[in-house]
Structure 1
Amino acid sequence: MRFRKKITACLIGMATVTSLPLFGQGTNSIRLTLEQCVAMALEQNSQVLNSQRRLKVAESNVVTARATLLPRITTSVNSGVFEQGPRTTLFDVPVGRDPETGKVIYEQQEIVQQGIQRNFNSMNFSLNQTIYDFGKTYNTLKQSKATREATEYIYESTQQNTVLLVYQSYYQLLQSVQLLEVAEEAVKQSEEQLKRTRSMYEIGAAALADVYRAQTTLGNDRITLLNQKTAVRNARYALNIVLGREADAPLEIVDVGDAQPGEYDLRDVLEKAYSSNPDLRRFKAEMAAASHGLKGAKATFLPTIGASVSYARSNDDINKVYSGYDKNYSINYGINLSFNLFNGFADVANVERRSSEYRIAQESYNERRRQIRQEVLQALDNLKAAQEIAEINNENLISAQEDLRLAQERYRVGAGTLLDVITAQVNLTRARSTLVRAKYDIKIYEAQLHARMGILK
């Protein structure tokens, strides 16, 4: 599927449409090229900024996962005073012997214990290290790395989509401005035709109905002009939002050149899209993350082997805690094995969840691959159709201009009707509008194609 884009002659027909290098709102507006708009959007667009922040979160998660491979070292220092106030307690106190049995006789008496106060001081140092957990820790680390990679592709995709939005909004604003010029030209023609019709009516060369018909045509063209002014404002609002600015911020943009689009082969385009599209690479990374997550989830059914050592010192005298290290200490060390016998089927549910996540990522990859093929086909078809429309309409524009000239001349000499003139004016306006739309539609469709290929800059 190969075709050549040919619109060289199309733009010559735009001579009747006023071309301005700048389109804006006033002297306080900033003037931006397409490249400057792209750079601004990549720095200020909210979606890009949030995607960048999510990437930082994913990088932090990798650090957190890596930490489980390293020993966990803790230390604590305590120093304080234990104080207990006086207490009264009933005790059985021996007071004599039974003369008959010889047994000791006890009597309850209230004993007052004096309050006590003592210092306590201690320090503790402990180290714990997982020795082997059958791959759970390593797979968790691999999962976090794959998730970070997927997040990187999401960031790349967000940038690509934002750049595409800039291209589309930029071209749509230029398109709206040139359509506004077409509408202004249509109003100007209708005003001139109304003047001519009134003059002819005053000398008896035209009917009053022609005057009313010319007035109606002018009114309709003015309505179209008002609607197009609104379209220009809305297009400027949309571009400002993509750039991360307030919708009504002053903005001027520079018109782009009329560079010829290139040639595209369906097989080459699809090959490039499948290999470079960040969405596909993202789903591949998510599949890898889910696979590692599944392995880690299965490892929870196996025991975990660890080692630990702790060293502690304590004494009422704080000086003895931090001196004389051959006394007042205790050391604990050993190897431990932990095995989860039952936790309410949480591990089973975790395995099922990880397995479902893998299948979801796999299906998302396949679906996105099909969507990319569809989008490439649509972009190529739209691009080819827009080119052909531009080529056909270039001839239509020349014919419409000549048709209007002849219709006006026939009407002036009484050989034609006003309806012929109005019809010719409508055809000319339509031809101009169609050519403007085709000019920027070609650029928009090519930008969409480049975005699908992952090469839009």
Structure 2
Amino acid sequence: MNALIVSALLAAAPAAAQDSAPAATQPATPAPAPAATPATAPAVAPEATSPITLDEVRSLGRRNTNALQALLDVETAEADVGVSRSALLPQLSFNASAGKLWQGRRRAVVTVPNPTAPGTFVTQEVETPSNDFEQYDLGLSLSQILYDRARFKQLEQSGVLRDAEKSQAVEEADTSELEAIRRFFALFRTQASLQVLEATVKRSEEQLERARALFQAGRVGKNEEITALVNLGNDRITFTETLAQLVTDQTNLAIWLARPGTEPLLAVDPGVLTQEPAPAPGMDIALAQARERRPLLQALQLQVRSAELQRAIARADYIPRLAAQGSYSRQGPDAEDVFTEPRLQNNFTAGVNLTWNLFNGFATGAQTRRAEAAIRRAQLVLEQSAREIEANVRQAHRSLLAQLEAARLAADNREAAVQGLRLAEERFRAGAGSTLEVRDAQLSLTRAELSLLENRIDVEIARFTLMRAMGALSPGETK
């Protein structure tokens, strides 16, 4: 089968089309002017191209814009872990202030000793003049959470969400890589199709020369030459249209790899057309690997865990919180005393604070029930996604098996088409056949070659699709 694939897809023309008309049938008169004979089909890639291999495409595909955005989500989740951790670390703050207070005249009722009755007091109204004084403050405060279940669970939840984002990033990278692989093989398919179509054009040119020679020898009518000329024109039209598709495929691959859309990429032959395709893995092995390594399942399992931690956070309101606090401050109306005299104006405070929310209007119970609903929702998403992934694995596995069989049948068809064209050309040279019969055989061979090409490349796309469903595109990143 390898030899068939190489000869069908990479050669300029099959062996059946190499023979020219026998010498006995060559016309005695010179051939028409060169202007009457169409030129050979144009080259596949007239402009300078940038070769790119499948391995390069896979690597660049994992750094696609979508994949890079997913990595930014991981960085955000990592920062969220730091934010959650910060609440459990010591909180130290420094403050300093300087100001002045102005008080206007005021009247107040004060209690003073009764001058007429010792040991007793009387109230009287007094009026004080306006005054002003300076106020300086300098201090440090330190607080440390000793136990707060909600804060500890929030930190754990942040770590779980970070890990979920990492798995989601790998899932996105796999998706981007598979799309890059598909676009690479689409480009390679078009390049190989152009080779097949170019060989078809060459066969049509040779058939035109045969028809012209036989007509000039008086063995066939003029209509045979005209029919061959029309067939050649149609083949060139198909070749030219496929050149336009080549540009489309180059552009699609370039922009997906975050390269300039004007860069004419050239897909380097990955060797799949010269190798026997490997058999598909067993269905049981594929399913087991998908359950173990598919990044999406890992991300969804972590989402369930995050929802469970959210319930623990809600229930934490039932448990007391314990924190330690301490402060050191210096205050006074004189800046020199506050800032330069260490033996004066010193204040120290320290304590342990216990907070217990005994009743908050049943809010804790409501938040717990909402968290339990979120857990069930996350579980349902996980279960449904697991079923869908298993279905995807089964579909991809069956598709690979079908493509392997189709590629085998396409190789057999190509061999039959080669024999059919050889027989039609021999009949035409002997005067027993017509250009129509040769044309039908040529079209059959072209279709068989394109079918072989399509099916062989579809085998590789199906194989990578199965690998992606199994989580095996880049297994090292799923851990």
Q: TM-score, normalised by structure 2?
A: 0.78
Partner of 2:201: 187
393, 417, 420: which one aligns with 1:400 = 417
Could you tell me how far 1:403 is from its partner in structure 2? Answer: 1.2
Give how far 1:329 is off: 3.7
Q: 1:13 to 1:342 in 2, by over 3 A?
A: same
Pick one of 238, 246, 260 that aligns with 1:232. 246
CA contact (8 A) 1:25 1:250 kept: no
Q: How does 1:377-416 map to 2 (within 5 A)?
A: 377-416=394-433
For residues 427-454 of structure 1, the C-alpha deviation after alignment (integer angstroms, 9 at most, x for no partner) is 0001110111122112111112222222
For residues 188-210 of structure 1, the C-alpha deviation after alignment (integer angstroms, 9 at most, x for no partner) is 32333344435545565444554
Using the TM superposition, give the Cα deviation of residue 113 of structure 1 relative to its aligned residue in structure 2, in angstroms. 6.3
Which residue is equivalent to 2:33?
none
Structure-2 change in CA distance of 1:387 and 1:10 (3 Å): farther
Structure 1 match to 2:60:
40
- 1:2-41 alignment, distance < 5 Å: 7-8=1-2, 10-14=4-8, 17-18=11-12, 26-27=47-48, 29-41=49-61
Deviation at 1:304, TM superposition (A): 3.3
Confirm or deny that 1:310 pairs with 2:327. Answer: yes
CA distance in structure 2 between the partners assigned to 1:356 and 1:248 by the alignment: 51
Q: Tell me what 2:91 maps to.
A: 72
Deviations 1:91-145 (A, max 9, x none): 9xxxxxxxxxxxxxxxxxxx9966x554321012222333333x21121111111
Q: Secondary structure at the match of 1:244?
A: coil
Q: Which amino acid aligns with 2:187?
A: L
Provide Cα deviations, 1:250-297, integer angstroms capped at 9, x if missing partner.
423321124442451111121112111111111111111111112112
1:282 maps to a residue whose letter is A
Distance 1:273 1:237 in 2: 33
Q: Secondary structure at the match of 2:301?
A: helix
Separation (CA, whole Å) in 2 of partners of 1:24 and 1:298: 68
Indicate the SS of the match to 1:403.
helix
- 3-state SS in 1 of match to 2:331: strand
Matched residues in 2 for 1:370 and 1:128: separation?
50
Q: C-alpha separation between the residues in 1 aligned to 2:202 and 2:366?
A: 73
Moved more, 197-206 or 398-407: 197-206
What secondary structure does 2:51 align onto? strand
Give the secondary structure class of the aligned counterpart of 1:171. Answer: helix
In structure 2, the CA distance between the partners of 1:187 and 1:300, relative to structure 1 (3 Å rule), is: farther
Indicate whether 1:51 and 2:70 are aligned.
Answer: yes
Offset at residue 426 of structure 1 (A): 0.9
Measured in 2, the distance between the counterparts of 1:192 and 1:199 equals 11
CA contact (8 A) 1:169 1:235 kept: yes
CA distance in 1 between partners of 2:344 and 2:423 (Å): 117
3-state SS of 1:39 partner: helix
- What is the CA–CA distance in structure 1 between the aligned matches of 2:6 and 2:227, rounded to whole Å? 33
User: In 2, distance between residues paired with 1:235 and 1:322?
Assistant: 75
SS in 2 for 1:70: coil
Query: In the alignment, which residue of structure 1 is the partner of 2:301?
Result: 284
Tell whether the 8 Å contact from 1:17 to 1:432 is kept in structure 2 after alignment.
no
The 3-state SS of whatever aligns with 1:264 is: coil
Alignment equivalent of 1:273, drawn from 277, 281, 290: 290
1:419 aligns with 2:436: yes
Per-residue displacement from partner, 1:199-226 (whole Å, max 9, x unpaired)? 5455654445545543443343233223
1:434 aligns with 2:448: no
Write out per-residue CA displacement over residues 55-109 of structure 1, whole angstroms, 9 at most, x where no aligned residue. 111111111112222232222111234467xx78999xxxxxxxxxxxxxxxxxx
* SS of structure 1 residue aligned to 2:260: coil
Q: Which moved more, 1:44-53 or 1:200-209?
A: 200-209
Task: Specify the code of the residue in structure 1 equivalent to 2:430.
Answer: V
Q: 1: CA distance between counterparts of 2:53 and 2:363?
A: 57
Q: Does 1:123 align with 2:138?
A: yes
Contact 2:428 2:434 in 1 (8 A): yes
CA separation of 1:13 and 1:388: change in aligned 2, threshold 3 A: farther
Distance across 2 between alignment mates of 1:402 and 1:122:
102
| Per-residue deviation, 1:149 | 1.0
Which stretch of structure 1 is more off in the superposition, 123-132 or 396-405? Answer: 123-132
Shifted more, 207-216 versus 183-192: the winner is: 207-216
What residue is the counterpart of 1:255 in the other structure? 269
Contact 2:4 2:415 in 1 (8 A): no
Distance 1:223 1:32, change over 3 A: same
Alignment-mate amino acid for residue 84 of structure 2: A
Q: CA deviation at 1:394?
A: 1.8
Q: Matched residue of 1:391: which SS?
A: helix
What root-mean-square deviation, in Å, do the aligned CA atoms of Structure 1 and Structure 2 show?
3.1
Secondary structure of 1:291's aligned partner: helix
Structure 2 residue matching 1:300: 3-state secondary structure: helix
Superposition deviation, residue 12 in structure 1: 4.4
What is the CA distance between 1:164 and its match in structure 2?
2.1
Q: CA deviation at 1:393?
A: 2.1
How many angstroms apart in 2 are the aligned matches of 1:362 and 1:148? 19
Gaps of 5+ in 2: 14-43, 109-126, 475-479
Offset of residue 326 of structure 1: 4.8
> For residues 169 and 11 of structure 1, what CA distance do their matches in structure 2 show?
22
How many residues align? The count is 422
- In the superposition, the TM-score normalised over structure 1's length comes to 0.82
Shift of 1:310: 2.6
Q: What is aligned with 1:96?
A: none
Q: Is the 8 A contact 2:190 2:246 kept in 1?
A: yes
SS at match of 1:17: coil
Secondary structure, in 3 states, of the residue corresponding to 1:173? helix
Q: Which runs of 5+ in 1 are unaligned?
A: 1-6, 92-110
Q: Does residue 217 of the first structure (1) align with residue 226 of the second (2)?
A: no
Distance 1:326 1:149, change over 3 A: same
Q: 1:359 to 1:229 in 2, by over 3 A?
A: farther
The alignment status of 1:62 with 2:81, answered yes or no, reads yes
Structure 2 counterpart of 1:456: 473
Q: Does the C-alpha gap of structure 1 residues 357 and 366 become closer, same or farther in structure 2, counting only changes over 3 Å?
A: same
Q: Is the partner of 1:310 in helix, strand or coil?
A: strand
CA distance in 2 between partners of 1:390 and 1:262 (Å):
12
